[in-house]
Every structure is written in C-alpha cells, then in structure tokens.
Amino acid sequence: MVESPSSAAPSSLKPSRQFQSRARLVVIGGGISGTSAAWTAAREAVKQELDVETLLLEKETVLGGKASAIREDGWLFETGPLGYLDNEPIVDELVRGVGLEEERVPASDASSHRFVFLDGRLKEVASHPVRFLASGLLSPRALLRAACEPFVRTKRDGLDESVWDFAARRLGRDVADRLIHPMVLGIFAGDAKRLSLPSAFPIMAELERDHGSLIRAQLARSRARRRGTLPPRRSSLFSFRDGLETLPRRLSERGSFETRTACVVLTVTRREEGFLVVLEGGASIPADSVIVASEGFSAASLLADAAPDVSQALAEISYPPVYVIALGYGAEAKRSIPRGFGALIPRGAGFRSLGVTWDGHLFPGHNAEDGLLVRVLLGGTFDPEIAKLDENAAAAIAEGEMQRLFALSVAPRFLRARLWRQAIPQYELGHGARVQLVDEALARTPGLFLAGNALHGTAFGKAAARGVACGERAIVWLAGRAPKK
C-alpha cells in the first residue's frame, strides 16, 4: 500500500514502546532491497503472530531506485539494470509471492552471444572452446599461457588481491588486459586493478580455494552435474514486460506494510528504547528497529549519529558516475548490429563508451515496431568528467560512437539519456575488511540492519537477497520484544 505524506501525517505516529504497544519496523529506501525487506518482514511477522507495524519510507515519488524504466512511443528504456540472473532463488520466490510469474520475460537466445572490441573490430567471445581458439581474441602465446592455468600455484596467504592481478597470475597478462579488464568495466564501470577479487567475484576466489585451479574446478563441476550431485547451472537473464521496476512496485502493492513516497529521511538517531527516524520538515518517527536499504553514500549520512563507525566505512566507498543512453533505430540497424547481448570496449580503443548492450535483441518487447533499441554506457572510474556533460552532449557522444562502431548512416528515431551521478559501488581492495568492520559495528547496535548493495553484491538479485535477509533478521530480533497479537 502506497500513501503520500499528506495521507497520514507524521504526528499520527505515536511512540512505539516495547511491552506497551505494537512494535514498529521502519525500512528506509524503496528500491528492490528495501521493498524486499519490508515484504519479508511483514510476512514473517504474520507467520510468527507478532504485532509489528512495518513502514517503508522512500524519498522519491515512485519506488524502484535504479530499477527505473521509461516507456515512450513503443520503446522501453531501462535507465538502470537491464535484467536479473536466475541464479538467486530468492528473486524467484518474490516473483511467485506477488504473482508475477506471467509477467516475467526471459532474454532471447541472443544473450549467449557476447562481443568485445579488439584490434579495431568486434570479436565474439565464443563459449565453445574450438570457436574461442579460432576467434583471434588471444595470440597463440597467450592461449598457451592460459592453458597452463592448472599448474599455477594456488594463492594461500589470505591477503586481498585485485581482479586484474588474479587473472594475470592464473591466466596471463593478455587475458587480464584483453578480456577481464573490459569485462569489469562493463559490470562495475570500474578498474580491474583496484577491485577486490574476493569481494567483486567471490565465486572465482572460491573455485581456486576449493580446487586449486579454475580449469580443474570447471571440470569437477561438470562431472558433478552429470552425476546429479550438483544442480544444473543457472545463469539465464530475465526481466518483466514493463521493466525491472515492476517487482519492487508489486511488492509494495501486495505487501502488508505501509509505503510512503516523497518522504525524505535526514538522519537516524539512537534513543533509550530504539531509534528515532528524523524526517525533512522536522517530523520524526520512533522505531523499535530500522533497516537502512538506501544507497551506501546515503546510508553513510543517515547513520552518522546512530552508527558512526558504519557511517564512516560506507562513506569510503567510491561510486563513479555513469551515463546510460538509449538509442532506438529503425529496421536498417539490424543489418549492421550483430544479434547478441552487446559489446565491451576496452580503454585505449579510441572510444569513451564502456560498452553497448543490444536491448532490443535481448528483449524484443523493448523495441518499437520495426525498431532496435540499444544502450550505450559512458563514464565510470576512468571517465568521471562525463558527469559534467548535459544530456544532449552525452547523447551526441553515444550517437557518434554508434556510427563509428557499426557504420550506421541513419540517426536514431529515439534518443534518451539518464545520468547516475553515483552509479555503482566499487568493491575495491580492502572491501572485505570494511564488511567485517560494518558487521561488528552493527552487532553493537541492536535493532539496526543494513540492506542495499553497498557491501554484499551490486546485482539486482543480490540486493533483493540482502533485503530478504535483513527483513528476516529484523523480525527475529523483534520477536522477543514485540507483543503477540
């Protein structure tokens, strides 16, 4: 249920005192993590017959956070994440819980074709070994070095390691430079030499730790799947007919909690019994428990009083700017743009673009009639100056680079841009220690929980899973304090 601030004035909220009235849980942030937390907490409270009021506060006028779509003239422009992978079962549970199974849309088989711009042209990163060897992505010498990966000594010192250093150590510098560096740019808009491998790609660290080699790990997993001792690999891309924002909004519509949009939280303070959530305009809401599910930089400001150590740790996380530009072309573009997921563009290739996603190939419902929608990403760690450009200037860069990449001679029929001034949290070296510090500080602040994507995974599914976990933990914590119904 969504209410505007005027429909329930803050003055109507009486103090929530343990053992005297129903408990109150306040969730701050209406993206996928916050709505998942509120949905889960409300359901868990009912299951445990706890008298808990769950209230979600969102500063914007609509829910969704970076899961935000623009529908115009038949085009569907995802201004943030394009979809989610089905390797996070929690998302499937949420989808079923709010009855969205029929709205879910799988990506087409084009998603299996991915490209990188190398040596002046697009080259497909083939999954089949023979096609990969023949693709020209790597020189014979680089291929030979990568093939030696099973014989590389396993790292056992427990120290942090960058994504680039890990790839160079195990697979060689050519693989790290030509494949891993652009991949990290496409996922994090960040620098592979600064991002922490165990934090950004924990599965890679796990494979080396458990098997001593990435190649041996993949062979062992393949054997286990054939024997049925390991479930089939799940990595398919999904969205919804009206975009990713559908899920957080449906969670609010179907959830047994109150949602207030256009409600700006200034700070969270501790008091003798719980917390006080201070709103813009001077009003405040007492709470027994609080889940902060906003962006890390926002959470840092909100928690300066209630959890200063958490606040400081979150404030240290970098969020580079990213421009997302949508270009909708006519049918003629389909002759020039390969059918696939998209293309990564390494630094030094002569383009400002981090990469291009071919949304219309992946999700044909994003196209207007006889059209093809693509998105260009600009900015990131290596190009923070992009944030100084207005939307027209950024769109002009994207259009020009599309013309160069694909020899397009026609202008797009649809052109829109969205700047995220603080886009994706960077899990840089030392991130694991930061997570541990935050966990220890939260343990000293009973009733306070941190959701969102600042610490435990940037993807849509990871943020949802973190929200669900925090919703469950909040109800467990309240269980001994809230009166039974």
407: left (phi over 0), alpha (psi -120 to 50) or beta: left
Q: How confident is the model at residue 18 (pLDDT cuts 50, 70, 90)?
A: very low
End-to-end CA distance of the chain: 21
Mean pLDDT of 173-184: 97
Question: Which residues 6+ apart lie within 8 Å of 460 measured at CB?
Answer: 32, 67, 81, 83, 84, 91, 244
Predicted TM-score (pTM) of this structure: 0.93
Query: Could you tell me which CATH number the domain at 2-65+241-318+427-479 has?
Result: 3.50.50.60
pLDDT of residue 3: 52
| Best CA proximity match to 113, nearest among 297, 325, 338, 315 | 338
Residue in the structure block whose two tokens are 């919703």: 471
Architecture of domain 138-150+161-227: Orthogonal Bundle (1.10)
Question: What does the alpha-carbon distance between residue 79 and residue 60 come to, in Å, rounded to a whole number?
Answer: 16
Mean pLDDT of 71-89: 95
Whether the predicted pLDDT of 485 surpasses 70:
no
Residue 276: DSSP 8-state? E
Pairing of the two strands 342-344 and 322-329? unpaired
pLDDT of residue 228: 84
Which regions of 89-145 does DSSP assign to beta strands (E)?
104-106, 114-118, 121-124
Whether the predicted pLDDT of 2 surpasses 60:
no
Q: How confident is the model at residue 12 (pLDDT cuts 50, 70, 90)?
A: very low
Tokens of 172: 């060689």
Whether the predicted pLDDT of 40 surpasses 80:
yes
Whether the predicted pLDDT of 10 surpasses 60:
no
Question: What does the alpha-carbon distance between residue 436 and residue 413 come to, in Å, rounded to a whole number?
Answer: 49
Tokens of 8: 């329930």
pLDDT of residue 230: 79
Domain map (residue ranges) of the chain = 2-65+241-318+427-479, 138-150+161-227, 320-420
Write out pLDDT tens, residues 318-344.
999 999 999 999 999 999 999 999 999
Write out pLDDT tens, residues 405-436.
999 989 999 999 999 999 999 999 999 999 99
Pairing of the two strands 84-85 and 75-78? unpaired
Question: What does the alpha-carbon distance between residue 352 and residue 349 come to, in Å, rounded to a whole number?
Answer: 9
Architecture of domain 320-420: Alpha-Beta Complex (3.90)
